[in-house]
Amino acid sequence: MIGCEGARVDNENIVDLALQAQGAAVPRSSIRELMLLREPVDHVVSMFAMCVANSPSYADDNSDTMANATIEMWLDAYESGDRQTAGRLCYYQPNNLQTTSLVKLEESAADSAKLEASVAFVNEEAYFVGVVERYSLSICLFGSMVHGLGALPLGCTCARAEQLAAAGKTVEPIVRDETDETHGTVPVEPSDQARASINRLTSLDAELYQAAVSRFERDVRASGLGCWLDLAE
């Protein structure tokens, strides 16, 4: 999966836990990569928020630098090529991190080659593709893919979606209501300057994310959960 740092982590434990429940509809051997991708601006802002939240845990002088940094300072240092200063302000590398984490090509490879390879991975190699912005629906989708539509909890069903729509409520299954407080971070509101920097640094990630959303929505409909998309419009 893709976390704040953009790394693909070992999915073995996740898959094994999912298959322990009765009624798994697919064999273990058919499940390959699982991933959740994130809208690039939110992804980079989350990286910086984690740096700020974790700065007190660092035992060297760098903790003060991180605690007093702003997202604009970090992005400016990164864009100017001052990687040493950027690393002292926040240890994450924001430059198309999701794209470069999916496929390992030489750093000198053309951007078009990196994007083509990562989009192909999303569309052809990954067993499951979710998006953070539809996290709850992503979890319902994964459950449907592994256990079948009939084994889903009531909160994932179209009957529940219809109830929410009829009540004028947000049509989204709720797995857990996460906030900055529960995640241990302080909200960071990026300025227009910061957003412009992020857009420049994540142009490939933006295209990859759109490919991921398209794959996600296709799978949602193919799994019989398209009601959550239709009723949310």
Q: Which residues contact 23 (CB under 8 A, 6 or more apart)?
A: 147, 148, 151
Domain boundaries, the chain: 12-230
Angle at 61 between CA 202 and CA 181, to 5 degrees: 55
CA atoms within 13 A on the CB side of 215: 24
Residue reference for tokens 């390992």: 104
pTM for this structure?
A: 0.82
Torsion of CA 10, 13, 19, 25, to 10 degrees: 0
pLDDT tens per residue across all 233 residues of the chain: 444 444 444 444 444 544 554 455 555 445 567 889 999 999 999 999 888 877 655 445 555 566 678 999 999 999 999 998 898 888 899 999 999 888 877 777 899 999 999 999 999 989 899 999 999 999 999 989 988 888 888 899 999 999 999 999 989 987 665 555 555 566 788 999 999 999 999 999 999 999 999 999 999 999 999 999 999 87
CA atoms within 13 A on the CB side of 102: 29
Tell me how far apart the alpha carbons of residues 44 and 50 are, in angstroms, rounded to a whole number: 10
